[in-house]
Structure 1
Amino acid sequence: MSDEIIEELWRVKDSIAREHGYDLERLVAALESRKYRHGGRTVDLRALRQATKQGSSSKARSLPDESVTDPAS
């Protein structure tokens, strides 16, 4: 990956943070709102982290179905 791509990602990240006053709670709320407006799906990585902590490599390779959140359902 080129430095130009990384630099652009940081510019976008900084712009989004600035739009929300560098307030993490406002940023999360805005991203959640955007996700639902666009019908996005999210993956809850807590199941993956828990499986990894327990040392179960087979569980760590795939997330259980209930860890996927689909706002349309």
Structure 2
Amino acid sequence: MPEEELHGIRIHLDRILAARGMTLTELSARVGITVVNLSVLKNGRAKAVRFSTLSKICDALDCQPGDLITHDPDAPL
């Protein structure tokens, strides 16, 4: 992976979904984002996320952005 693509951003969507007893399909229906796009985000393959998307996910999961996303600079992808 090229140096400029390395990052330590971690997405915790799977953990929050499990805590809420919600599936990715259910979240998709609630926020109007495809399961495929949510899966890309959940698996850490997203290169970006729109604030509007993040806001919809946080509303549906009753959480804060910091619950979904953390930064660990010592563990780049």
Q: Output the TM-score relative to the length of structure 2.
A: 0.27
Please tell me whether Structure 1 or Structure 2 has the larger radius of gyration of its CA atoms: 1
Answer 1 or 2: which has greater helix percent: 1
